[in-house]
Amino acid sequence: MRRATTIAVALAVVAAAGCTSDPRYVDPNDPIEVNAPGTTDTGEATTTIDLPIRLEKDTERTERDALAAELGVEVPYVKAKDLHIEIEWSLENLSDQQGEATILVNGATEYAEYIPSNFVIDPERDPEPPSLMGGIPMILQPGEVKTGVFREDQVYEASVDLELMYRANYNPFAAVLEINKGFTEIIDTANQLVPKDVFASMVRFDFILRGTTDVVMKYDIRVRDERGILHDKLLNPDDPGELTTFSPVVIQPPMMTP
């Protein structure tokens, strides 16, 4: 399996400066491809994108600490209500044969990272939990291009699913297969109420492409930033301190079905 890791992520402002809710695009370095001629691919390729989040201001941290003390729960720096995220994608079958391709999207909030394969203890008995988004095989005719979008509400749903797994110890099947975006609160494992206003947002996306022929996937992450927390300049490798680095905990079994 090849892993294409995005090292430099460019943030392009596509609307007038000063209006933080105008859309911005977080661009990957390269498309990802499976079964390219002359390679020994196993039919799967992955890439990871971290949203470029600026450093938290002292005043923001003070307010966040005060709210956390008031609620008695963790309050994230990047909340689900802060960012409205949409993922546009395209698949192209470069071969002269009909093929099948599947996109799976997982990732992390600042607190928790979801890797479905971690829940497969016995490969002969344990099915792999579903991905946060995607997972539906698509047939591609020779040379065919398919396009689609993971909508803002689907990405928000993925953020809520991660919160349920992290805060409430939900089994990933229960979290992902149910529609949870309408939750107004979560009861965590300490029996504390977590209101939706402090649900954490996804800040990292893991894209997995599986295919039976030579298939290329391109994608763009579109963000409407309500708080102005996306970095406002191109990522500068010589000044990495300008961006926030998150260290989410990898969610592990055993999990408890609610």
> How confident is the prediction along the chain (258 residues), in pLDDT tens digits per residue?
444 433 233 333 333 334 456 788 886 668 999 999 988 878 999 999 999 999 999 999 999 999 999 999 999 999 999 999 999 999 999 999 999 999 999 999 999 999 999 999 888 888 999 999 999 999 999 999 999 999 999 999 999 999 999 999 999 999 999 999 999 999 999 999 999 999 999 999 999 999 999 999 999 999 999 999 998 765 455 565 688 999 999 998 865 545
| Distance separating alpha carbons of residues 31 and 217, to the nearest angstrom | 6
Three-state secondary structure along 71-98?
Answer: HCCCCCCCECCCEEEEEEEEEEECCCCC
| Separation CA 126–CA 171 (nearest Å) | 13
Cα distance between residue 222 and residue 86, in whole Å: 5
Scan for tokens 């201001």, then name that residue. 57
Q: Do 10 and 49 meet the contact criterion of CB atoms below 8 Å apart?
A: no
Name the 3-class secondary structure at 111: coil
Instruction: Provide the 10 A C-beta neighbour count for residue 172.
Output: 25
Residue ranges per structural domain of the chain: 2-235
Q: Match 């105008």 to its residue by tokens.
A: 22
Neighbours of 10 (CB within 10 A): 14
Q: Residue 63 in 3-state DSSP?
A: helix
- What's 153's DSSP letter? H
